[in-house]
Amino acid sequence: MRWTATWRATLLSAILTAGSAGIAEATILTFDISGAQNFDEIASGYGSHVNALTSGSFSYGQGNGFTPNIAVGYATRDLTTHAVVSPTLLHWDVGNGDLVNVAFPGEMTGHYGEIALQPQGGAQVRLNSFDLSGFAGNVPGQTVRVVDGLGTLAEFTDFTVIGDGPGHSPFSFGSGLVSRSGALRLQFGFDNWDVAIDNVNFDQLAPVPLPSGVILMGTGLAALGAWRRRIQPKTA
């Protein structure tokens, strides 16, 4: 039987496709934390390694599933130097448009808030959507940015965050924003802590393990190639 180059390429493509497909699961951070009071710091473990809708005082909205290989971190950063001035955001209950139980930056001016989604164990993270709202009214002149280790994935500048109505400003990214390297960082509330965030919807994308039959097929193909090279007649 002749093993043509086209057949080998087709089989290799099938093996690579099977190994690189992804499983999508999702968590929604709603900041509905039992017992949280206004100006309380968002707990450092909130949203990390989610594998259930509730965990102690924490509860989450359910998107496409859970995100056990995603760690979540929070920070308030200096607007000029971008240094972390506080490793947290603050909690607020009502008054931010039509959103209830939100997170906002930990300093009134000169700073911005950040939520970092850090994939672990070979997973990737994808941001689907989130909501912003203004406290006691609209907040003009705002910026929101999504970055990863390679640079900016999305940025909106000089827009008004809705709080009047009451209402809010939704952000949705269609097929989602996937981190290309390192953590995916969602930055908001630039120079104004009256901007709050809620309903952060993100997915975990993980490689699908190769089925044992495909692994054996690939191993057999490699062995066959080695055998054919050994019996190939030598030429002068």
Residue 16 has pLDDT above 70, yes or no: no
Residue 108 has pLDDT above 60, yes or no: yes
Percent of the chain surpassing pLDDT 90: 70
Segments making up each domain of the chain, as ranges: 1-21+210-236, 23-207
Higher pLDDT: 110 or 17? It is 110
User: How far is residue 204's CA from residue 124's CA, in Å, rounded to a whole number?
Assistant: 6
Identify the band that residue 208 occupies on the pLDDT scale cut at 50, 70 and 90. very low
Q: Are 121 and 69 in contact (CB under 8 A)?
A: yes
Higher pLDDT: 235 or 177? It is 177
User: How far is residue 65's CA from residue 45's CA, in Å, rounded to a whole number?
Assistant: 19
Residue 145 has pLDDT above 80, yes or no: yes
User: How far is residue 186's CA from residue 209's CA, in Å, rounded to a whole number?
Assistant: 30
State pLDDT tens for residues 87-106.
999 999 999 999 999 999 99
User: Can you state the angle between helices 5-20 and 212-231, rounded to 10 degrees?
Assistant: 150
- The CATH number of domain 23-207, selected from 2.60.40, 2.120.10, 3.30.110, 2.60.120: 2.60.120
State pLDDT tens for residues 156-175.
999 999 999 999 999 999 99
Average pLDDT for 166-191: 97
Average pLDDT for 180-201: 98
Residue 10 has pLDDT above 90, yes or no: no
Residue 12 has pLDDT above 70, yes or no: no
Q: Could you give the angle at the alpha carbon of 73 between the alpha carbons of 69 and 78, nearest 5°? A: 150
Average pLDDT for 123-136: 97
Average pLDDT of the chain to the nearest whole number = 84
Residue 9 has pLDDT above 70, yes or no: no
pLDDT at residue 225 in the model? 55
Higher pLDDT: 216 or 33? It is 33
Residue 190 has pLDDT above 80, yes or no: yes
Q: Are 157 and 145 in contact (CB under 8 A)?
A: no
